[in-house]
Amino acid sequence: MSNRKNAFAQPTANPSTRFMEWKSNDKSFSYWDKAAEKEVVQTLPFKFLVLDELHTLGGWNDASSSRIFSNEVKYIGKQEMTAKAFKGGVIAKGVYTDIKNKVKDAGGHYLKSIYIMLEDGSLANVKLKASAVQGWGEFTKANRSKLASNWVEINKAIEGKKGAVKFTTPDFTVGDVLTSTEEADADKCFDSLESYLKTYLVQQDEPVVAEVEVEDLDF
C-alpha cells in the first residue's frame, strides 16, 4: 500500500507511547505513566521489535539541579547536538566528539535512543547508557540481518563490575520471527515513526565521515 499520504502528515509530538530507561539496580526497564502519574516497572521477560536507532544525551547537572537533555541525531559523526540543562540553559553545542568532554564535565552522558514496537503494536522508545550500549552494539553487530524480521527478547539481566562499581545490563537475545499480522503492525508503526522523524530530524546528505564506534563514545 502506498505511503504517499505520509508526505502531508506533519506530527509535532513524538508518537512514542512510552519512554523507557534501563534501571541497573532494579534489573529492569521503567517508564513514567502520565495517566497514572507514577513510575512503572517493565518487568522481565520483555520483547520488542527494533524500528530505528538514534543518538542523544542525558544526565544530571548539579550546578542547576536539573536534568540534562539534547536533541536526537541520526548521524552522530556529523550532525550537531545541543546539550541543555532544564534550569541551566545550553551546556554545549556541536558534533558529539567535539562537545563530549564539556558535556561529561557538566554531568552528562551519551544515550542510545532505540525506537521499538511493543507486543501490542504500539510505538515506544528505549534509552541505553554506559555498558548497556556496549552490549547492544555487540548484539546488533552479530544479529543485524535478523533485526527487521525477529523480536528481540530480554529474559534476564547480566551482572557486571567496573572497579568497585557493580551494575547490570540487559541480556539481548533473538526471539521468534514475526507473524504476518505482526509484520503489518510493524509497517504501520514504522510509518508513524518515519513520518515524525522526517519533520524532526535536520535533513542532511549522507555523512561523509564514519559513524562513531561504540568504544569511542566515552561513557
For residue range 79-104, what is the model confidence (pLDDT) as tens digits? 999 999 999 899 999 999 999 999 99
- Residue 151 is placed in which grid cell? 523480536
Q: Are 217 and 81 in contact, with CB atoms under 8 Å apart?
A: no
Q: Please, what is the average pLDDT of the chain?
A: 88
What is the rounded CA–CA span in Å between residue 65 and residue 68? 10
Q: What is the pLDDT of residue 90?
A: 96
DSSP helix/strand/coil, 145:
helix
Q: What is the pLDDT of residue 163?
A: 86
216: DSSP letter: G
- Residue 169 is placed in which grid cell? 545490563
Q: Cα 127 from chain centroid?
A: 4
Q: What is the pLDDT of residue 205?
A: 40
Q: How many CA atoms lie within 13 A of 217 on its CB side?
A: 22
- Residue 149 is placed in which grid cell? 524480521
What pairs with residue 157 in β-bridges? 170
Domain spans of the chain, in order of start: 15-202
What is the rounded CA–CA span in Å between residue 84 and residue 64? 11
Please give the model's pTM, rounded to 2 decimal places.
Answer: 0.85
Residues of the chain with pLDDT under 50: 1-2, 4, 203-212, 214-215, 219
What is the rounded CA–CA span in Å between residue 201 and residue 203? 6
Q: What is the pLDDT of residue 199?
A: 83
Q: What is the pLDDT of residue 219?
A: 47
